[in-house]
């Protein structure tokens, strides 16, 4: 442990004259209050440190103490059903200690050291363990079993095993002897540096979809488990709302939600919602499988930069247990702004729009930590990364959005015009895309039949055709169009209003299973094909519209319960009967 004193202070960045005392990326304690900081630069003249707390009151000559270890987080039971700040300090425990406002230098253990956990040992003396393998389990929440993993850097033979029973976080439950003969006490927790990715046995192709229950995402722009997605959109377009909906309904086992630089009232709304929400799978509170990291816009800017890495490290830890984890980062634009501010303090050469030149590599490092993998504990796990982007003025050509597009394979582009028209989710089907079709189509064909992929292609084609026709309609009106083109516009309206638009507050429409999504497409396309036959006989399209079938299909998402998919057959018969009568 090394000691030195502050030489200069510039916002969250401080400098120290001595360059021999510290190592790059080392965690340090600054000032009399032991503020947490990290070494981010060393030259022959000075050491540069970024401080993760407010530096008001610090002055030259105040002590700086090194820890000899990189910036890390504590991993163990108690992460779920908890709320942390950007450097994994538990906000509930800090509130109990210092009130509604976090006092500087607040030192509280990330996880409760006194709580007793009912531990079941899964090894016996003489067993050989490799890094990442399980040596004990315990019920962390009523729905999630916490599996205690051997630190990835350790391996050896188990020499002692304690009996099953109640243990605290730092109690020894087994003793491991490594190949050098050194003994290591195995407790209920371990530490891991946040900027280092945890190792896996083998990376796997992302070939299983993350089912969200949101039709525009599942059908038109699907994401794989272990995939990466961006949700860009201007102010008020529904980024946070979309991520809330994904967190509530996607079929991941565990949710890590990082509120990075968001407004305080928005984060408090998130915390209130999650505490009241009932998990549709377990019928238990949603918090039983959720960890929240809250770093609001008025918190220190350096901690905002660290919060993303804290979140991804927690996600990797649960992936290593064999869980499918979804991490929501809201928003990476605020994180990039924190990078820009710190870069400015360091007087680095700015790149496009003032962002540092290393912005693309930092984004790449973050998104590369997602993925589906065979894990050392046996089985497989995944980390799906969904990052919101907040481009100023909805300008998707700005650097954060453009660089995010390079490293994510799904792009759910939110549209201001759709949001203001109350079309939820406001995902623009012309600007969005998914690159997972080749990986996921075999799964869709195996579980939903060949029809699903064919229906999706025809729905997309109709929306594309409508977009082209609307350019003509804007210029000369719709009256000049032939009836077959008017039919395309009418069918596309049903697709937009009856299929893509979804009501998050309606019990039958907030989550829609894939089978119902397929049947909805089937009915819409069946009406389109039957109507084409009518138009081909030169019967006016107005006669078809008068039947009320198009309006009926826009309401079927509400009228057909998720548990009564047989009702779609009635709709198909109704279409056949009414169109058949018209043809006769």
Mind listing the pLDDT tens digit for each residue in 483-528?
899 999 999 999 999 999 999 889 899 999 999 999 999 999 999 9
Q: How far is CA 572 from CA 219, 484, 528, in A?
A: 21, 21, 12
Q: What is the pLDDT of residue 371?
A: 95
Strands annotated E in 428-488: 433-434
* C-alpha to C-alpha distances, 259 to 306, 330, 400, 471, nearest whole angstrom: 12, 5, 17, 40
342 & 487 share domain: no
- Asked if residue 367 lies in contact with residue 315, where contact means CB atoms within 8 angstroms, the answer is no
Residue 224 lies in a domain: yes
Q: At 60, which CATH number? A: 2.40.30.20
Select the highest-mean-pLDDT range: 50-54, 246-250, 406-410: 406-410
Residue with tokens 């999650």: 274
- Tell me if 521 sits within 8 A of 448, measured CB to CB: no
d(CA 468, CA 82): 50
461, two tokens: 């084609």
Provide the percentage of residues in the chain whose pLDDT is more than 70: 99
Phi then psi for 39, rounded to 5 degrees?
A: -75, 125
pLDDT digits (tens, 9 = 90+) for 161-203: 999 999 999 999 999 999 999 999 999 999 999 999 999 999 9
- Reduced to 3 states (helix: H, G, I; strand: E, B; else coil), residue 80 is coil
Q: Quick one: tokens of 511?
A: 């989550």
Judge if 337 and 209 occupy the same domain. Answer: yes
Question: Quick one: CA dihedral 387, 28, 22, 347, positive or negative?
Answer: positive
Q: Is 562 helix (H, G, I), strand (E, B) or coil?
A: coil
Which pLDDT score, from 0 to 100, does residue 462 have? 97
Report d(CA 425, CA 526) in Å as an integer.
25
Read off the pLDDT of residues 224-248 as tens digits, 9 standing for 90 and up: 999 999 999 988 898 888 988 898 8
Q: What is the pLDDT of residue 432?
A: 96
**Domain co-membership, 468 together with 427:** no
What pLDDT, on the 0 to 100 scale, is given for residue 187? 96
What's the farthest any 2 CA atoms get from each other in the chain? 95
From CA 54, how far away is CA 69, in angstroms rounded? 22
394 and 456 both lie in a single domain: no
The yes-or-no verdict on residue 107 having pLDDT over 90 is no
Mean pLDDT of the chain: 91
Residue 122 pLDDT exceeds 60: yes
Question: Do residues 390 and 463 both lie within one domain?
Answer: no
**Residue 1: pLDDT band with limits 50, 70, 90:** low
- Is residue 113 in a domain? no
* 471 and 425 in a common domain: no
CATH number of the domain to which 542 belongs: 1.10.1140.10
Q: Residues with Cβ < 8 Å from 555, sequence gap 6 or more?
A: 498
Task: Name 257's bridge partners.
Answer: 292, 328
Supply the range of the domain harboring residue 211.
204-434
pLDDT at position 206, please? 93
3-class state of residue 33 by DSSP: coil
Answer yes or no: is 242 within a domain: yes
**Is the confidence at residue 251, as pLDDT, over 70?**
yes
Half-sphere exposure of residue 51, counting CA atoms within 13 Å on the CB side? 26
Of residues 291 and 92, the one with the higher pLDDT is 291
- Taking alpha carbons only, the member of 545, 520, 518, 533 closest to residue 580 is 533
Average pLDDT over residues 397-415: 95
Q: Are residues 275 and 248 in the same domain?
A: yes
Residues 465 and 424 in one domain: no
Residues 416, 27: Cα–Cα separation, whole Å: 43
Judged against a pLDDT cut of 70, whether residue 311 lies above it is answered with yes
With respect to residue 156, please indicate whether it lies within any of the assigned structural domains.
no
pLDDT of 276 above 80: no
Any residues with CB less than 8 A from the CB of 511 and at least 6 apart, and which?
A: 213, 249, 280, 562
Place of tokens 């009151």: 57
The answer on 579 and 552 residing in a single domain is yes
How high is the pLDDT of residue 103?
73
pLDDT-derived band at 479, boundaries 50, 70, 90: confident
The β-bridge relationship of strands 228-232 and 380-389 is parallel
Residues 394 and 472 in one domain: no
158 falls in which pLDDT band (50, 70, 90)?
A: very high
Residues 343 and 459 in one domain: no
Question: By the 8 A CB rule, do 262 and 330 touch?
Answer: yes
Last residue of a domain, one of 37, 55, 70: 70
Predicted TM-score (pTM) of the model is 0.93
Residue 299 pLDDT more than 80? Answer: no
Does the residue 482 lie in any domain? yes
- pLDDT (mean) for 251-261: 91
For 405-411, what is the mean pLDDT?
Answer: 96
Residue ending a domain, among 377, 405, 434, is 434
How far apart CA 467 and CA 444 sit, in angstroms, is 27
Predicted confidence at residue 473, as pLDDT, reads 85
Q: What residue has token string 């198009």?
A: 550
> Nearest CA to 210 among 165, 255, 154, 163?
255
> How many CB atoms are located within 10 Å of the residue 490 CB?
18
Last residue of a domain, one of 25, 52, 70: 70
Residues 6 or more apart whose CB falls under 8 angstroms from that of 584 comprise: none
Q: Are residues 310 and 407 in the same domain?
A: yes
Q: How many domains does the chain divide into?
A: 3
Does 189 reside within a domain?
Answer: no
pLDDT tens digits for 348-377? 899 999 999 999 999 999 999 999 999 988
Q: Residue 555 — very low, low, confident or very high, per pLDDT cuts 50/70/90?
A: very high
């Amino acid at each position: 442990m090394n000691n030195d004193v502050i030489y200069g202070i510039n916002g969250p960045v401080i400098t120290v004259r001595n360059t021999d005392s510290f190592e790059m990326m080392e965690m340090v304690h600054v000032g009399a209050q032991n503020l947490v900081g990290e070494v981010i630069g060393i030259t022959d003249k000075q050491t540069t440190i970024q401080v993760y707390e407010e530096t008001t009151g610090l002055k030259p000559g105040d002590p700086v103490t090194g820890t000899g270890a990189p910036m890390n987080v504590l991993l163990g039971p108690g992460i779920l059903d908890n709320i942390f700040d950007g450097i994994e300090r538990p906000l509930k425990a800090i509130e109990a200690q210092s009130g509604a406002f976090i006092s500087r230098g607040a030192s509280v253990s990330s996880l409760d050291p006194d709580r007793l956990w009912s531990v079941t040992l899964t090894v016996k003396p003489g067993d050989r363990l490799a890094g990442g393998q399980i040596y004990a389990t315990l019920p962390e929440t009523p729905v999630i079993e916490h599996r205690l993993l051997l630190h990835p850097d350790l391996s050896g033979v188990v020499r002692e095993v304690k009996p099953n029973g109640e243990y605290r976080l730092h109690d020894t439950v087994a003793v491991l002897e490594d190949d050098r003969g050194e003994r290591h006490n195995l407790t209920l927790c371990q530490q891991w540096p946040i900027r280092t990715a945890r190792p896996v046995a083998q990376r796997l192709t992302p070939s299983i979809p993350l089912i969200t229950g949101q039709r525009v995402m599942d059908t038109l722009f699907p994401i794989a488990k272990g995939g990466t997605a961006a949700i860009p959109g201007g102010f008020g377009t529904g980024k946070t709302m979309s991520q809330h909906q994904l967190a509530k309904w996607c079929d991941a086992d565990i949710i890590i939600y990082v509120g990075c630089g968001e407004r305080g009232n928005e984060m408090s709304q998130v915390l209130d919602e999650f505490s009241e929400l009932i998990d549709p799978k377990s019928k238990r509170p949603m918090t039983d499988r959720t960890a929240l990291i809250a770093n609001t816009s008025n918190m220190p800017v350096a901690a905002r930069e660290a919060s993303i890495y804290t979140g991804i490290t927690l996600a990797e830890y649960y992936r290593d247990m064999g869980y499918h984890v979804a991490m929501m980062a809201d928003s990476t634009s605020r994180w990039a702004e924190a990078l820009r501010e710190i870069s400015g303090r360091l007087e680095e050469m700015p790149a496009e729009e003032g962002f540092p030149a290393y912005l693309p590599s930092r984004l790449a490092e973050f998104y590369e930590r997602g993925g589906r993998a065979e894990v050392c504990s046996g089985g497989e796990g995944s980390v799906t990364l969904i990052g919101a982007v907040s481009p100023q003025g909805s300008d998707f050509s700005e650097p954060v959005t453009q660089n995010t597009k390079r490293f994510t394979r799904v792009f759910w582009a939110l549209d201001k015009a759709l949001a203001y028209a109350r079309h939820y989710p406001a995902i623009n089907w012309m600007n969005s895309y998914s690159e997972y079709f080749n990986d996921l189509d075999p799964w869709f064909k195996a579980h939903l039949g060949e029809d699903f992929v064919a229906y999706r292609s025809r729905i997309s084609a109709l929306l594309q055709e409508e977009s082209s026709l609307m350019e003509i309609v804007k210029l000369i009106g719709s009256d000049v169009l032939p009836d077959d083109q008017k039919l395309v516009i009418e069918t596309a309206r049903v697709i937009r209003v009856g299929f893509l638009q979804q009501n998050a507050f309606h019990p039958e429409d907030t989550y829609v299973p894939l089978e119902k999504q397929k049947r909805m497409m089937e009915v819409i396309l069946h009406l389109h094909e039957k109507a084409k036959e009518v138009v081909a006989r030169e019967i006016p399209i107005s006669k078809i519209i008068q039947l009320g079938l198009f309006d009926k299909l826009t309401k079927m998402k509400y009228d057909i319960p998720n548990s009564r998919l047989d009702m779609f057959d009635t709709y198909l018969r109704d279409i056949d009967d009414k169109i058949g009568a018209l043809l006769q």
